[in-house]
Structure 1
Amino acid sequence: MQQIGEHALVLGAGMSGLLAARVLTEAYERVTLLDRDPIHGDAAPRRGVPQGRHAHVLLARGGEIIEDLFPGITGELVADGAVVSHPLADFRFCAGGHTLRQVPIGATMLQSTRPFLESHLRDRVLTLPGLTPAGGRDVVGLSIADDRRRVTGVRVVRGRDASTEETLAADLVVDATGRAGRTPVWLQVLGLPRPREEEFVVSVGYASRLMRLPRDYAEREKAIAVGPVPDRPRGLALLEVEGGQHIVTLAGFEGRHHPPADHDGFVEFAASVSPPDVLSAIRRAEPLGEIATYRYQSSVRRHYEELPNLPDGLLVTGDALCSFNPIYGQGMTLAAMQASTLRNSLAQGLPGLTLRFFRAASRAVDDPWDLGVGADLALPQFRDRRTLSTRLTSAYTRQVQAAGAIDDQVARQFVRVTHLLDPPDQLLRPGLAWRVLRARTAHLARRVPRLSAPGR
């Protein structure tokens, strides 16, 4: 890629920041990676990533992009203990109350804890030519040119000493500071409009624990996910991760379905959502550490692509652009997809970069946002938010999930869509829709009692 600038600043050294920094080193002579926390390679949960102790899934599409950006990283992760699984074939998926057929989908996925994956990516990024880490810096605002048409850098303070402020100049600033990203506030302070925000309140609570499961179960299955259903707005994810460990994450919507943080309550909650063999394994497992909890209030999407006078030299990526309900495991993969979008936008040169990126990133977010919100809308507590379109989509999705329990092709296509390998409209192809209808007809036929012939 042709160099288009001298210095780029990336705000945030989490997944989206690391991936953005990797791409920017192709187009800028120098890239500075800023973070409030120290930037190092330790595989430990970071203060700035409170959700890091919970189960994370790098969907198949995300794994493909990360391997493209960091050639050989998959092999390195596996050599250090990450688990390779075949989605659906090795991964029991209970969606909408139906256990899907376990068949190959033509892709693989990596399973590890988030700190493990993030530390390996950080090690790679820190060796990139022209990359400078700058931990212990807190960004407090943007600097802007006199004509207010270009962002020229950021204002930062070091550590807890907020009295000493300095300005770091840059040709490009990328906000990758997560869902608490302050770019909307910074724009407002400069007298510029904030982006329109979509917010979908979900009130999800999590509880997670690392465990060592009994061998008779651990050798049989690499992962299981149980999604919520209308009469049980609870879910479970159990993943084999590095070091012969499994991470068990329980989740529930609204306060009364939030999982507890004590051992007995954790197991009791698991009993309400787990298949019998999984519950037996959890009860017999060796706990490794304490139970971690997390609360997620709402999904938020910010529409920067709609701002007519957004200054050049400013981009936003990752959760700072769109934060998804984490129960569906889309976040890390969307960060990778936005990094790929950034790479393509940079390759087209500097003129029009800001608007070009935001428009492309918005298109990349459309399908995952609709999938996540659509899944939430299937639950009864969101009934008042449904439109005719979402009701029809939810009804068809329920039929797809039911068909996926008896039809290999339907199950395969549904999971390829959830792994963001194929667009959702693939579920509407006539051939697949016919299989869904045929499965429903067969199901209804089994439920209708046969009448005896007259005279018998």
Structure 2
Amino acid sequence: MSGDKTGTRAVVLGGSIAGLFAARVLADAYDDVLIVDRDVLVGVEGPRKHCPQSRHINGLLARGQLAMEEMYPGITEEIFADGVPTGDLAGHVRWYFNGRRLKPAVAGLTCVAASRPMLEKHIRRRTAALPAVSFREQHDILGLVTTPDRGRVTGVRVQSLLGEGGEEVVEADLVVDATGRGSRTPVWLEELGYPRVVEERKKIGLAYVTQHYRLLGDPYDGDLSINPVASPALPRGAIFTKTDGDRVELTTYGLLGDHPPTDQEGLYAWVKSLAVPDIHDALQHAVPLDEPVAFRFPTTLRRRYEDMDRFPLGLLVTGDAVTTFNPVYAQGMTAAALGALTLRDHLHTGAAPIPAQYFRDLATEVIDPPWEMTNAVDLTFPGVQGERTRQVKAAQTFLKLVQTAAVHDGKVTAAYMRGAGLVDKPDAMMRPAFLARVLWNVVRGAITDRLGGGTRGATAHRPEAAASSGRQASPPSRDDELVSTN
């Protein structure tokens, strides 16, 4: 990490996790790093008004944990010391695919089972401790300031939300937009005479509901989380995890308009319709600590800044403001962390980074691998519109084989979760020895199932439970075992 100083100021728009990660690496290259946000940030420990996702489960993948630790040495142990439970993504998380549990195996993948406010609190505390970093809280961001030729951004226009004074110009040598999905950079660029960035969207019709509980018994049997994932046959899933404050956090979701209700009785019935009974059984011995809260996520979004022919100097974009992944796969915070490391790589000379080079590296090194992987999974759901190319179909077939083999072999599970956790690149599972192991276990599993020795809970879904929730169970499709991993 470079210690070069430019004697200049960087302004980060947005103080959520992506903005904090960006500020962390900018603090090594700029004398002054200012974070501007509409919320009160410093000292806040609960959900924030302008961050609705803070009321729901936010997963940090294993690669994200490693990147966070690289930026803030020792932070993982600090979080655990604050009452956050942990485990291994492949060894201590109970993964169910179509009701079939993947065989567990410890893979060296650290889970940080922190609630979003807890994680944000620790990252913000470490970022705020940096001498260069300061906050401009409760300020709206009005627009960019540029040179007369509009070729370089030189600052931002902001205004207090408390009615204190009028519009103010904050000068900056670099502005980083980390304002999330609602980023106004596309509009600002058009107003400055630049082309509108191409946006790629995919309608998934996702909604999820979150509630926290105090358990009166322990259904985990040493595990950290119970995760039945959605499938084309039953587009419903859940994450039921231990978290900080001796609580359990449930986020249950449905795709393509099949959405969980927010009334308590309806939510219990919905949970009963999931592919396995584990969570519903556990909730019979749990006390709700809050009301169910819903969040709707109709489409994924990717802004193709890397394809723009012209882009002003002095401006970069990061986090959800560039790409908003399907949140079921828990890739957002990890992509933000890796995006910050990409930004760091473009600060090593002490000069302002060149946007085209930054966006190119961000796309190829950070966004493309998870985007392509989850796109293939999303397209296994017949109602999701998109081009099912030969490459996509091949990826789906391979993933189906891996998931089938993982039911019988923990080493396959470990390799699969290392890929899903973004620790290993996708081609790591293409090695001949691994391919042979997958094929052997697919054949072995098929023989075992025919002989009646299948894995517990091997049915693809629970028709009787689905019927009890008012939904007709769908017949299994050929791609039943092609489902999400996070």
TM-score range for the pair, normalised by the shorter chain length = over 0.9
Displacement of 1:396 after TM fit? 1.4
1:206-355 equivalences under 5 Å are 206-218=208-220, 220-255=222-257, 257-273=258-274, 275-350=276-351, 352-355=353-356
Displacement of 1:350 after TM fit? 2.0
Provide the rounded CA distance (Å) in 1 between the counterparts of 2:129 and 2:250: 34
Structure 2 letter corresponding to 1:317: T
CA 1:219–1:435 in structure 2 vs 1: closer, same or farther (change >3 Å)? closer
Provide the rounded CA distance (Å) in 1 between the counterparts of 2:251 and 2:83: 20
Provide the rounded CA distance (Å) in 1 between the counterparts of 2:113 and 2:304: 32
Structure 2 letter corresponding to 1:305: E
CA 1:162–1:185 in structure 2 vs 1: closer, same or farther (change >3 Å)? farther
Contact 1:5 1:171 (C-alpha < 8 Å) held by counterparts: no
* TM-score (ref. length: structure 1): 0.95
Q: Which moved more, 1:13-22 or 1:217-226?
A: 217-226
Contact 1:201 1:298 (C-alpha < 8 Å) held by counterparts: yes
Equivalent residue, structure 2, for 1:454: none
Count of matched residue positions in the alignment of Structure 1 and Structure 2: 449
Displacement of 1:95 after TM fit? 3.2
Structure 1 letter corresponding to 2:320: D
Equivalent residue, structure 2, for 1:389: 391
Provide the rounded CA distance (Å) in 1 between the counterparts of 2:367 and 2:175: 21
Provide the rounded CA distance (Å) in 1 between the counterparts of 2:449 and 2:420: 30
Provide the rounded CA distance (Å) in 2 between the counterparts of 1:67 and 1:9: 23
Provide the rounded CA distance (Å) in 2 between the counterparts of 1:396 and 1:317: 32
Deviations 1:195-251 (A, max 9, x none): 211111111010010011233325632112111111100110011101110101110
**Paired residue secondary structure (2:91):** coil
Displacement of 1:383 after TM fit? 6.2
Please point out which of 377, 380, 390 is paired with 1:378. 380
Structure 2 letter corresponding to 1:119: K
Contact 2:12 2:34 (C-alpha < 8 Å) held by counterparts: yes
CA 1:22–1:384 in structure 2 vs 1: closer, same or farther (change >3 Å)? closer
Contact 2:208 2:251 (C-alpha < 8 Å) held by counterparts: yes
Equivalent residue, structure 1, for 2:195: 193
Instruction: Decide which structure has greater helix share.
Output: 1
Displacement of 1:276 after TM fit? 2.4
Please point out which of 39, 47, 50 is paired with 2:49. 47
Deviations 1:115-165 (A, max 9, x none): 111011111111210211101111111111112221111111210649922
Instruction: Decide which structure has greater strand share.
Output: 1
Q: Percent identity?
A: 38
Provide the rounded CA distance (Å) in 2 between the counterparts of 1:127 and 1:449: 61
Structure 2 letter corresponding to 1:398: K
* TM-score (ref. length: structure 2): 0.89
Structure 2 letter corresponding to 1:27: A
Whether 2:441 is the aligned partner of 1:424: answer no
1:406-417 equivalences under 5 Å are 406-417=408-419
Provide the rounded CA distance (Å) in 2 between the counterparts of 1:449 and 1:134: 66
**Paired residue secondary structure (1:380):** coil
Displacement of 1:41 after TM fit? 2.2
Contact 1:27 1:346 (C-alpha < 8 Å) held by counterparts: yes
Provide the rounded CA distance (Å) in 2 between the counterparts of 1:142 and 1:229: 44
Contact 1:35 1:138 (C-alpha < 8 Å) held by counterparts: yes
Contact 2:152 2:314 (C-alpha < 8 Å) held by counterparts: yes
Provide the rounded CA distance (Å) in 2 between the counterparts of 1:399 and 1:54: 32
**Paired residue secondary structure (2:346):** helix
Q: Which runs of 5+ in 1 are unaligned?
A: 451-456
CA 1:163–1:128 in structure 2 vs 1: closer, same or farther (change >3 Å)? closer
Equivalent residue, structure 2, for 1:453: none
**Paired residue secondary structure (1:346):** coil
Q: Which moved more, 1:197-206 or 1:427-436?
A: 427-436
Equivalent residue, structure 2, for 1:141: 143
Provide the rounded CA distance (Å) in 1 between the counterparts of 2:450 and 2:70: 52
Provide the rounded CA distance (Å) in 1 between the counterparts of 2:46 and 2:449: 52
Contact 1:96 1:398 (C-alpha < 8 Å) held by counterparts: no
Q: Name segments (4+ residues, structure 1) moved above 4 Å.
A: 160-163, 446-450
Provide the rounded CA distance (Å) in 2 between the counterparts of 1:40 and 1:275: 42
Provide the rounded CA distance (Å) in 1 between the counterparts of 2:100 and 2:392: 21
Provide the rounded CA distance (Å) in 2 between the counterparts of 1:134 and 1:44: 19
Contact 2:202 2:384 (C-alpha < 8 Å) held by counterparts: no
Equivalent residue, structure 2, for 1:91: 93
Provide the rounded CA distance (Å) in 2 between the counterparts of 1:356 and 1:385: 29
